[in-house]
Amino acid sequence: MMKGEEGVSMRISLLDRSLYYKSLMILIRKDRQIHDEEKKLMLSIGKMLGFDLKFCTKTMEELLDNNHIVDALPRFSGTDIALCFIRDGLRMSASDGQIHEAEVKWLESVAESNGLRHLWIAELEKLSRASHGHPYNSLELRNFEWE
C-alpha cells in the first residue's frame, strides 16, 4: 500500500510492483552498462517490492543479454504509481554519477504514456536541485506500505 498525499493508503497490485521493477531494469540497461550503485539500488528495491534476492540477482546478471525483456513503456494502474516510478527512475539514472540521454528520453516517454507529461519538466528540475546523497534514502518507493 502507498500513502497518498491526503494520508489515505492505496493498494499496490502485484502487477504494478512487477511492472515497476521490470521497468527500472529496462531503464538501467539504456546506457548498456549496469553500475555497482545501480545493482545495489535494484537489489534494495527488489527487496522492498517483495521479490526474491536470487531472482533479482539473476535478472541483473542476464539483463544486458536478455532478449525477453522488451523496452515497452510501462502503463501503471494509477498516476500516483507512475509519478513515483518517474521520480525513482530519475534517481536511479543519477545513481551512477551521470544521467544518459537515452534514460531521460525513455523516462519522458513513460511520463507521457501515463498522462504525466505536464509534470515532466518539474521533476527534472527537482532532480537538478536535489542534494545527491545516497539514492536509496530518497526513493519515492519508500513511501509504500506493504500488507
pLDDT at 10: 60
Q: Where are the domains of the chain?
A: 11-143
Half-sphere exposure of 94 (CA within 13 A, CB side): 20
Indicate the burial class of 27 (C-beta count within 10 angstroms; 0-12, 13-18, 19 or more). Answer: buried
What average pLDDT does the chain have?
Answer: 83
How high is the pLDDT of residue 133? Answer: 52
pLDDT at 24: 96
CA distances from 66 to 36, 61, 70, 79 (A): 19, 9, 9, 29
Residue 94: the pLDDT is 87
Amino acid at 97: G
Task: Provide CB contacts within 8 A for 21, sequence distance 6+.
Answer: 42, 45, 46, 49, 51, 56
Say what the pLDDT of residue 103 is.
Answer: 92
Q: What are the residue ranges in the chain where pLDDT is below 50?
A: 1-8, 134, 136, 147
Instruction: Provide the 3-class DSSP secondary structure of residue 44.
Output: helix
